[in-house]
Amino acid sequence: MNKTIIIHYSEIGLKKGNRGYFEHKLRDNILRALRDFNIDSLKIDFGRFVLPLPDDAPIEQINQRLSDVVGIAHFSTAFEASPDIDVLKEQVFEHVAPCIFSSFRVLTKRADKQYPLTSVEVNKIVGERIHTALNVPANMKQPDLTVFIEIYNKKVFFYLNRIQGLGGLPVTSSGKVVSLLSSGIDSPVASYRIMLRGCHVIFVHFHSFPFTDKASYHNAIELATRLCRFQYSAKIYLLPLAKLQEAIIAIAPPKLRLLLYRRAMFRLAEKVAKKEGAQALITGESLGQVASQTLENINAISEVVSLPVFRPLISFDKEVIVAEARKIGTYSVSIEPYDDCCSFLVPRNPETRAKIDDVRAAESIIENLTALENEILQSMECVKIQFPPE
Ligand code: ATP
Ligand code: MG
């Protein structure tokens, strides 16, 4: 029997008027994810995607790719069966008989109300065939094996296994954002979280080379590369902050340095966002996690930009963030040693409750601030990434 992958989407199902827009975004993304497998026969059929597979299709690899497509609720490798119930129950039985299981259920979903039997009747007939032949009890709550049957548009499919997807909305359906990507643990997770809400992320990384080595620069590119598999193309802008840091260090009280670095980062990231047509900034901040992430300091940093700043991790505990970083494969890169540009000549006890007037006053006396920031924008680099790689 020919194999077909049936893909169900999650939240898109709740969209009414513009469901088609989201479906097409998701279709494009699935095709991009499978670009190197020569697959072009993906159809949208009655609220699901249907992908007939050639015999030699690398199913494991295709499953892996689909597991990373944002917007999919779950998917399965299915078999197309006969609409004739007597044939259908034999076709299902043939697939179930070799499986080892001690309880089972049949779950039918009938979107085609023209079909002569109800879902419950199909469950009963197919279930009885299995029970009578194998003497295995049915268990509707926690069975070892579930036979899923889908009836729609005059077609019948069945499958025995469902792979959970990421959920969320298809990447690019919500527009573009700029994410401030350090080489740490949090900002890659924040970037991933906003991708799940349908954003295409452009990355911005600040480094202090030549004051520090280039470890953070390389780690940030590697992180963007790992995250690219959720959105298929990515750009990372690499901005040299060293000269500006030098000017800040020369003039500002040590306790305020970190805040002044951050304000500069936000202004520069906003410039990149405007250039790219991105509509928000993203950071990996989590309230109270470190000195710069108190409410006072978040205010002192945010006031320099007019774009909204989203902080997907603001309420997350560190251990939750770490677990997610492991899951998406960024943790091992994030824990590699690097000199963080924010800790460059910053005292051990930076200001935790900055007074906004003090911060503004310290910043106002930095010579050539705007010229220095323009110089950084002139000398920033941009690396483009593709997934799957060419
Ligand atoms: P992370 O684990 O993401 O580095 P953190 O816990 O180290 O976060 P901070 O150092 O206070 O926290 O950084 C807060 C946020 O500022 C980061 O999550 C990131 O969004 C941004 N940020 C910090 N350093 C950089 C950098 N070098 N380049 C780009 N963004 C940065
Ligand atoms: Mg950090």
Task: Provide the pLDDT for residue 293.
Answer: 87
The answer to whether residues 225 and 116 belong to one domain is no
**Better-scored residue on pLDDT, 57 or 2:** 57
> For 154-163, how does the pLDDT look when each residue is reduced to its tens digit (9 = 90+)?
899 999 999 9
Cis peptide before 388 (omega within 30 of 0): yes
Q: Is the CB of 342 under 6 A from ligand 1?
A: yes
Q: Quick one: average pLDDT of 53-74? A: 95
Q: How many CB atoms lie within 10 A of CB 364?
A: 8
Q: Is the CB of 298 under 6 A from ligand 1?
A: no
> Which of 110, 134, 164 corresponds to the end of one domain?
164
Give the whole-angstrom CA distance, residue 302 versus residue 360. Answer: 12
Give the whole-angstrom CA distance, residue 230 versus residue 191. Answer: 10
State the sign of the Cα–Cα–Cα–Cα dihedral 214, 217, 221, 224.
positive
Task: Provide the pLDDT for residue 113.
Answer: 87
Task: Provide the pLDDT for residue 24.
Answer: 94
Residue nearest to atom 31 of ligand 1 (CA): 182
For 64-80, b/e burial (b = at least 16 CB within 10 A) is ebbebbbbbbbbbbbbb
Task: Provide the pLDDT for residue 67.
Answer: 98
Domain membership of residue 171 (yes or no) is no
Domain membership of residue 353 (yes or no) is yes
Q: How many CB atoms lie within 10 A of CB 45?
A: 13
> Which of 164, 197, 221 corresponds to the end of one domain?
164
User: What are the backbone dihedrals phi and psi of residue 214, each rounded to the nearest 5 degrees, phi first?
Assistant: -100, 20
| Nearest atom, ligand 1, residue 207 CA | 27
Indicate the DSSP class of residue 218: H
- Number of domains forming the structure of the chain: 2
Q: Is the CB of 311 under 6 A from ligand 1?
A: no
Residue 41 in tokens: 């026969």
| Nearest atom, ligand 1, residue 293 CA | 11
For the cut 90, the answer to whether the pLDDT of residue 72 exceeds it is yes
Q: How far is the CA of 354 from the centre of ligand 1 (A)?
A: 18
Residue 308 in tokens: 């909204």
> For 176-235, how does the pLDDT look when each residue is reduced to its tens digit (9 = 90+)?
999 999 999 999 999 999 999 999 999 999 999 988 889 999 999 999 999 999 999 999
Domain membership of residue 36 (yes or no) is yes
Does this model's pTM top 0.75? My answer is: yes
The answer to whether residues 125 and 269 belong to one domain is no
Residues 16-23: contacts with CB under 8 Å, at least 24 apart? 21/173, 22/71, 22/169, 22/170, 22/173
Q: Is the CB of 350 under 6 A from ligand 1?
A: no
The answer to whether residues 216 and 158 belong to one domain is no
Domain membership of residue 320 (yes or no) is yes
The answer to whether residues 268 and 380 belong to one domain is yes
The answer to whether residues 34 and 144 belong to one domain is yes
User: What's the CATH code of the domain at 257?
Assistant: 3.40.50.620
The answer to whether residues 208 and 153 belong to one domain is no
Domain membership of residue 362 (yes or no) is yes
| Nearest atom, ligand 1, residue 239 CA | 28
C-beta of residue 2 within 8 angstroms of C-beta of residue 79: yes
| Nearest atom, ligand 1, residue 292 CA | 11
Q: How far is the CA of 157 from the centre of ligand 1 (A)?
A: 48
> For 84-101, how does the pLDDT look when each residue is reduced to its tens digit (9 = 90+)?
999 999 999 999 999 999
Domain membership of residue 256 (yes or no) is yes
Query: What residue numbers bound the domain in which 19 lies?
Result: 3-164
Domain membership of residue 170 (yes or no) is no
Q: Quick one: average pLDDT of 119-140? A: 96
Q: How far is the CA of 231 from the centre of ligand 1 (A)?
A: 22
